[in-house]
Amino acid sequence: MTQRLHLVFGGELVDPTKTAFKDTDDIHIVGIFPNYDTAYNAWKSEAQRTVDNAHMRYFIAHLHHLRDEETEASSTEELNP
């Protein structure tokens, strides 16, 4: 069974119309979730909690898109058996 992991993270942006973080050391990692629905609920909760700050943004990253089980391993993966 293929896992479809999702990472929810966010922080304060330099400019609310862009996606550059003001301080990358201060990025809030909400967590890694086993499916989109639970990731979305976590994202929504954090987004609503910080709604008064226009510079705060939270994102959902689809971690399963970073790894394709059908593709041969990269040279980096081959170094770490």
pLDDT digits (tens, 9 = 90+) for 29-74: 999 999 999 999 999 999 999 999 999 999 999 987 776 656 555 5
Q: How confident is the model at residue 79 (pLDDT cuts 50, 70, 90)?
A: very low
Q: Is the pTM of this model over 0.85?
A: no
3-state secondary structure of 21: strand
Structure tokens at 77: 């993966």
Tell me 74's DSSP state: P
Distance CA 39, CA 30 (A): 9
In this structure, the number of other CB atoms found within 10 A of the CB of residue 5 comes to 17
3-state secondary structure of 38: helix
Q: Is the pLDDT reported for residue 81 higher than 70? A: no
Structure tokens at 72: 């041969």
